[in-house]
Amino acid sequence: MRKLVDDITVQNAYMQAIQIVEDVGVRFESEVVRELFKKRGARVEGDKVFIPRHLMEEALETPKRELSLPHLLATHRSSLKMILVRYAAVILGMQ
């Protein structure tokens, strides 16, 4: 099977994405989610979170089953806010 994108291009895109998340940051409206990131070592400025490389790498190693919407709905039926908090907790390794 022929690849559409070579490995070097994928690696470059990955490194650029990590750099953006670390240096530019990601906006989160939820204060709860920002606090979860902060507790795990991310820098928080207002509603922007600067996520360190190690947290991104941990998130990529998290089993996908734990991040699926059906799994989150089954474990937290109370509200969308709880689902988002659970999602952030899984990503941050605070399960």
Residue 40: predicted pLDDT: 87
Residue 44: predicted pLDDT: 96
Contacts 24+ apart (CB under 8 A), 67-75: 67/91
Domain ranges for the chain, please list them: 7-91
pLDDT, mean of each 10-residue run, the chain (95 residues): 78 86 89 88 94 84 60 54 62 60
CA distance 79 to 27: 21
> Which of 18, 23, 54, 13 minimizes the C-alpha distance to 37?
54
